Amino acid sequence: MPDFDVTATGETLAVHMWYVMAIGLVPDRVDIANGIGALLILTILIFNLMFTIPGKILQRKMGSTGT
């Protein structure tokens, strides 16, 4: 059961991916690691777009001529 407590200690997805590949307790560890890697990339892309797009819209509204 996952622990949803914000103050609880935990691990990052990158550490979990390393652990899955290093220990190798499950036979489909490569598939699990590939899924974790894809989730990491999608998370980074979503966060990047979440802050970049509103920032560009705000720049246009304020009349900035920068790139």
The Cα 43–Cα 36 span in angstroms is: 10
Helix (H) or strand (E) holding 37: helix 29-62
The model's pLDDT over 18-51, given as tens digits with 9 standing for 90+, comes to 888 888 788 898 898 899 889 989 999 999 999 9
Which contacts (CB < 8 Å, 24+ apart) does range 20-27 have? none
Whether 17 contacts 41, CB under 8 Å: no
Q: Can you tell me the mean pLDDT for 12-21?
A: 83
* Reported pTM: 0.65
CA 40 centroid distance within chain: 4
